[in-house]
Chain A
Amino acid sequence: MSVEFEASARAWVADNLPATLAGVRMDMYGVVSADQAVREAFDVWRARLAAQGWGAPTWPVEYGGAGLTDAQAKVVSRAITKAGSMNPIPFLSGMGVTMVGPTLLEYGTPQQKSRHLPGMASGEVRWCLGLSEPNAGSDLAALKTSAELDEEGWVLNGQKTWTSGADKSQWCGVLVRTDRNAAKRDGISFLMLEMDQPGIETRPIRLIAGESPFCETFFTHARARKDDLLGALNGGWSVIKRLLQHERQSQTSAPVSNTKAEPLQALAKRYLGVSADGTLADADLRSRLAEHLMDTAAHELTIARIMTDARGGNVEVTATASILKNSATDVAQNHSELLLEIMGSQGLGWEPGAYSEEELRTVREWLGGKAMSIYGGSYEVQKNIISKNILGLPETTQKG
């Protein structure tokens, strides 16, 4: 990694980041701020990043990227973080930059890449994913939504659920059954279609944490272009496996502890106070807090080790990514539980009034975080993957 590149990345950020945006972040719904001026500045920032190819920096330039190496992309990301800002494009593109895009790069035709990737890389086209169905969750291959080809293209019928951001997306990648007679994993295909059409209806899902980005999505004679089949006909299972690997990577490659501003131990001291010897007043909590911080460090050191391995070219991404999903989940959920415990009865508020904004946010994040061990292959599915694919234990009695 050249020092010059790092210096030039920082200089670019310093020159192009609108001053009003320092410290401004998006929430999980992609909302920046109610302030019109801030929103406009954010769009300027987005457009400048897109013009630079930094929305998806590792993608080829012809598809809206900048052709950077992974290491260079990290330098860019660090430069933006250090300037107190964020790169909004991966969020604005929904599932585009992190999941559909990388999969398209591997499986797509040149025409598909030219048609779809630039919109993702600029953050102007938001993508959602139609994978799970009411009766196909952990057992995804049991999906029933069908697609049949007529002279004008594909016709889709069925229902998807947990389609995150479906009500705000322009495009959707959807897993459909294209051969009812084949074994269940062998009759599935991956289609891409526009959301704005009469055959698609979305309904937001309200969760235990309140409002959510998730939707139920109904397809009633919805249409997809014939050439928007990604990968082989009935080859959708291998496409989705690769896509979910990208999902696991995107979920686990970010260090956990850096995402929270105030260290847990500082917060604990603020709420609980300290004993005469300077240790946290609650000795039992102190011990569990230390254990949690160590588990977090172990998880982050494992990410670092895997990255070192990957640079050496000797890593099986699937294997290691499966371990990290569960350890990231353990660390994050335990973090939330400890936060709540530290806040005590102040960590139980639902509506504003008697509770601080931080307390209310903590409660919502704690509830929302329960999904971590369910989505992207549940905690149990991850353990199946480890025991079967990594450890080589025989297939369990489960079907599929």
Chain B
Amino acid sequence: MAVLTEEQTYIKDQASAWVKDKAPVSSFRALRDSKTGQSFMPQTWRAMVDMGWSGILVPQQYGGSDLGYLTCGLILKQLGRQLTAAPLFSSSLVGASALLLAGNPAQQEALLPGVVNGSVILTLALDESSRHQPEQTALRAEQTADGYSLSGNKTFVAEGMSATHYVVAARTAGTPGDVQGISLFVVPAQAEGIVRTALPTIDSRDYARLSFTRVRVDSSAVLGSPGTGLPVLECILDRARIGLAAEMLGTGSQAFDMTLDYLKTREQFGKVIGSFQALGHRAAALYSLQEQSRSCVEAALQAVDNGAHNVPELASLAKCQVGKFLFQMSNELIQIHGGIGMTDEFDAGLYLKRARVLEASFGNRAYHRDRYATLAGF
């Protein structure tokens, strides 16, 4: 464990206790089974806001506590453990990071207080195909007399149906594949010309497809300077990848704990199955993967807080290593539980399904291996 401050330790313990008590996986299951189409339970989100979690990255002048990414990651890990549905990652981490890294004071003033008090849900609309490829952004932003007109499509937008605002990556110049010519816009979800459609993903969480048809925004909607959005977008994405890795670590750790518990209690052939060496060795290998990915996630979170130069490498490392752990862990969760693991009544399926959605978010392992190699100069 990274050396935590007293405050961080308090928040971590608080998050662990609260999530288990107030937002356990059974709550998520109830939400899923209610078929109301709700993205999350309003009272769950309200409680998180009241505990100050939505303002952890935001400076005090906008109502936040500015405690940093490690603290935020500690909470996300706990949410990941219980598959708690909430816009904490998408809005309080990704949305807030976008405003903090790319926004001017007026934009920050306009939206950050809302992000902190939970009234604004600001999420990133980036992917346009079945792959995460930021430089392939094609959605057009045509310059008009007083601003821009946006046309194109976005998909796999997290909290896309419940968002009040989007950070939209759009092309103000060049063609898909060019690293130049990408700009970021803040667009209200209610803007004329946006049609959003729920994506019924396997994990029963809120993902949406957005279509933009001549959506008019004025010049003040541009985050940062037009046409040079990719470098800052990468900074936002790295924070997103690291935060998501923290959540994934929680999901994998819970799956590990469930599996270990089962190994110690399930009996076959007159013995506890954990006494079989074939299973004990798999548990040992998974534990090792868990510990190593935890090292990567914590190092990455701290690197962001410290303003380290190697955040991009650590972001890809964390997402990739924890991705490897979660992939194997979610499969073993089902396999080691056997028949019971295949039933919908048991939670294993929820973890497996969520694991694959998280893997595909913000670049899968193949994406980050490729990126890591590029960053290492080969």
Contacts and interface: CB of A to CB of B under 8 A. Distances in A.
A280 interface: yes
Contacts of A191: none
A301 B285 contact: no
A289 B295 contact: no
B242 to A, nearest CB: 13
A298 interface: yes
B275 A309 contact: no
A48 to B, nearest CB: 37
A393 B275 contact: yes
A370 B376 CA distance: 28
A225 to B, nearest CB: 42
Contact residues of B: prevailing secondary structure: helix
A56 B213 CA distance: 73
Nearest to A302: B295
Interface stretch (A15-23, A143-151, A378-386): A378-386
Interface string A315-346: 00000100100110000000000000000000
Interface string B314-328: 001100110000000
Contact of B281 (A269, A312, A383): A383
B1 interface: yes
B280 A298 contact: no
A147 to B, nearest CB: 34
Contact of B373 (A289, A320, A327): A289
B277 A384 contact: yes
Contacts of B61: none
A291 interface: yes
A268 B272 contact: no
A386 B287 contact: yes
B288 A326 contact: yes
A280 B378 contact: yes
Contacts of A37: none
A323 B287 contact: yes
A290 B372 contact: yes
Nearest to A303: B295
Interface of B: 1-3, 260, 263-264, 271-272, 274-277, 279-281, 283-285, 287-288, 291-296, 298-299, 313, 316-317, 320-321, 366, 369-370, 372-374, 376-378
- 7 interchain residue pairs of minimum CB distance: A387-B280, A386-B284, A301-B295, A393-B274, A290-B373, A298-B292, A383-B284
17 contacts: A263-B376, A286-B373, A286-B378, A287-B366, A290-B373, A290-B376, A294-B317, A294-B369, A295-B292, A302-B292, A383-B284, A386-B288, A391-B283, A392-B264, A393-B263, A393-B274, A394-B275
Given A301-B299, A391-B280, 18 more contacts: A279-B374, A287-B370, A293-B376, A294-B372, A298-B296, A298-B317, A299-B292, A301-B296, A305-B295, A305-B298, A312-B1, A323-B291, A380-B281, A383-B280, A383-B281, A390-B284, A391-B283, A398-B277
